Structure 1
Amino acid sequence: MASDTGGMDVAVVGGGVIGLTSAIALAEDGHRVRVVSRDAADRTTSAVAGGLCWPYRVRPYERAVQWSVRSFEVLAALAERPRETGARMVTGTMTRAAGGPDTRQAHDDAGDELAAWYAAVPGLRRAGAAELPEGYAAGWRARTPLVDMPAHLRYLEQRLTAAGGTVERCGVGSLAEAGEAADVVVNCSGLGARELVPDPDVHPVQGQLVIVENPGIEEWLVSADAGAAETTYVLPQPYGVVLGGTARENAWSREPDPAVAEAIVARCARHFPELAGARVLAHKVGLRPARPAVRLAVESLPDGTPCVHNYGHGGAGVTVSWGCADEVLRRVRALRDL
């Protein structure tokens, strides 16, 4: 139970970016935190993520933008130590294909779901015609955090340990099992919430990508219309260029499809011809844990232990991670103060 200093015993289920940031927020607030994860961080979906800080396939939009702005602030600060944290500030272009929604018109529409994001990102501006790749009607130019996820996950684990938290590599059969001897359970199980909660609304959105040697690309480029099964993104990372991608609803396979990989490289090479001959370093597939809306709420487990759910972040895990972690901390503080 809560100690004299106000700390609580907290079990966090899930060792990806959502679980680790939630655990850090709690541990640095004085709680005794134990992360339970079947997979090592470098084996989670988070490790496959491209790492661009930008809201994508996540709802509800208003809350997602608030979470994203907070994460932007944290990641921008971490980008001052890129070797340690894996975060860097990189300039790039977010585009819309010709014939798709015009982002310039959308920005002028007070009802645009991401208008608050556009307004919050320092220096974000509309791209001029000469700055857009051929075939794109409109876009944004911005300098945003771009995160080397394997390096960032190692940093998060080290930061959690420094704050007194621990990580256990084991599977759990239920949230109640994870919460034995804990005052609070924090459920950051991602796609695993489909069975653990159980929550049938949780489903995968499969993302395939190709990593190639960098032929000299320094800026990122993304074209990812909401709902599209095929996307185009080029993300320069220290270990190579991440090329994508796909967003296939309810596709469960984690095996790369050679034909899909070939199409990904071809799409990206239309904008960066030098990529056509770049040496392929790796093929990867990740399953984004999607849901109609992020579930960030408190409920009681059958034995009465409170559980803070934090899952269903779709394609925006790294983008909303620190904002959601702040909200988890607020929920746990409220439980402590009951």
Structure 2
Amino acid sequence: MNRRAALKTLGTAAGAFLLDGCMRRGSQVVPGHPPELLHLPRVDVRPELEIRTVVGLRPFRPSGFVVRAENVGDKLVVHNYGHGGGGVTLSWGTSELAARLVREASGARVAVLGSGAVGLATSRLLQERGYSVTIYAKDLPPNTTSNTAGAQWYPFLVYEREHATPAFMQQFVEAAGIANRRFQLMVGERYGVRWIPNFYCSPDPYTSGRFAPGNPLHQFLVDVTAIEGPSNPFPLPYVRRVQTMMIEPSIYLPALMSDFFVAGGKIVVQEFHSPADVAQLSESTVVNCTGLGAHALFGDQELTAVKGQLTVLMPQPAVNYAAHFGDDYMFPRRDGVLLGGTHERDVWTLDPNPDAKQRVLAEHQQFFSGMKA
């Protein structure tokens, strides 16, 4: 969906919505009862409520993430990186695939490079297999890319269709399924994972994309429901509600760190500049979870940065839903309301973009001011 088209519709949409609500069950759309207006609190998008703007660089590869093993000198290096905008979402899945490639006997020492969501998930899965794990990382939470993630459970910006092979797509769907099941087991206060409704809003009917049966992740969409006609409070005519998990990085990552330490894990703060540095480690097996760092460390020239920026507003506890329209999205978290909508490819700077911030604020103000009370 085009952001410009969505905003044009925002400016003209009134109350003339013609379709009744309906619920998708599998691949069927079943008409529902005559709906009433769905009452949702508007997000207060006043600029004075901003508490911070954060930038993260998504480690993107057009052909998708890398999970494979190779020999580097006398080391077995298992790669697990390049997740694009799906690092938190896919972490437990690709880490399971990576852990299967570790051939050491149980009890052996294994090194993990990186302490973001992927590195921590990999480390925990190796510990669950009986390995003694040391994490080597330049940065630790809360100073990782994972800490700046929106962290809604759904893989986003992971690959480009024309570059993805059938083998990768099989790996992608398997990883998504593993991760989805693991996060379901983590729902609750301890890990900061919860189910919330997400509303996808469009000026055009949903005939393709994530809500079409051809979507390879269609099976993971829970309770897809059309919110249209009189029930629709949003200023765009076509709305789909889906239930999904929201992960709070400020809770989730410290909880994983705690689990890692309780299981006997160790952390060494260290930066690596070349495979020769990796070869100096005492462990014979190394799992590479360096994300964007693999571009320089292992010479992956396909790997590039896609800059994302989030403007965070004061927490608004009454807002317990997510909304998506055009390129923009709003995620409610305990540490603030996240407003996003930027994807700057091949931009490697962590400096905030003031123009992008103003655009995102203005578009969210327009959207939420147009909601029906």
* Shared fold (TM-score, shorter chain, > 0.5): yes
CA 1:175–1:26: 2 relative to 1, 3 Å: farther
- Between the aligned partners of 1:256 and 1:113, the Cα distance in structure 2 is 33
C-alpha deviation, 1:75, in angstroms: 1.5
C-alpha deviation, 1:181, in angstroms? 1.4
Q: How is 1:118-197 mapped onto 2 (pairs within 5 angstroms)?
A: 118-129=218-229, 130-131=231-232, 133-135=234-236, 137=238, 139-179=239-279, 180-197=281-298
How many residues matched?
Answer: 260
Taking every aligned residue pair, what percent have the same amino acid on both sides? 23
Aligned-pair Cα RMSD in Å: 2.7
Read off the aligned partner of 1:217 and give its amino acid letter.
V
- Residue identity matched to 2:199: T
User: Structure 1 residues 104 and 163 mapped into 2: Cα distance closer, same or farther (>3 Å)?
Assistant: farther
- Contact 1:14-1:35 at 8 Å conserved across structures: yes
Relative to structure 1, is the Cα distance of residues 109 and 274 closer, same or farther in structure 2, using a 3 angstrom cutoff? closer
Match of 2:19 in 1: none
User: Of the candidates 324, 333, 341, which is equivalent to residue 245 of structure 1?
Assistant: 341
TM-score by length of 2: 0.63
Aligned AA (1:41): P
Which of 67, 74, 77 is 2:182 aligned to?
Answer: 74
- The question of whether the paired residues in 2 share the 8 Å contact of 1:53 and 1:68 is answered with no
Partner AA of 2:321 in structure 1: E
Distance in 2 separating the partners of 1:62 and 1:269: 40
Residue 267 (structure 1) aligned with residue 363 (structure 2): yes
* Distance apart, 1:70 and its partner CA: 2.1
1:267 match: secondary structure: helix
What's the counterpart of residue 93 of structure 1? 199
> Closer, same or farther in 2 for the Cα pair 1:207/1:142, shift >3 Å?
same
CA-to-aligned-CA distance 1:118-142 (integer Å, 9 cap, x gap): 22333234443544732354x5322
**Structure 1 residue 69 displacement after superposition:** 2.6
Rounded to whole Å, the distance in 2 between the matches of 1:53 and 1:185 is 28
> Could you state the TM-score of these two structures normalised by the residue count of structure 1?
0.69
| Distance change >3 Å, CA 274–CA 28, structure 1 → 2 | farther
What does residue 35 of structure 1 align with? 135
Alpha-carbon distance in structure 2 between the residues aligned to 1:24 and 1:249 = 32
Q: CA deviation at 1:214?
A: 3.4
Specify every segment of 5 or more residues in structure 2 that has no aligned partner in the other structure, as ranges: 1-74, 76-101, 160-167
Change (3 A) 1:172 1:107: closer
Quote the residue 2:120 is aligned against: 20
Is the partner of 1:151 in helix, strand or coil? helix
Is contact 1:175-1:187 (8 Å) kept? no
Unaligned runs of 5+ in 1: 225-230, 276-338
Based on CA coordinates, which of the two structures has the bigger radius of gyration? 2
Write the letter of the residue equivalent to 1:218.
Answer: N
Question: Against the structure 1 CA distance between its residues 167 and 128, is the aligned structure 2 distance closer, same or farther, given a 3 Å change threshold?
Answer: farther
Deviation at residue 245 of structure 1 after TM alignment: 2.1
The residue identity in structure 2 corresponding to 1:94 is Y
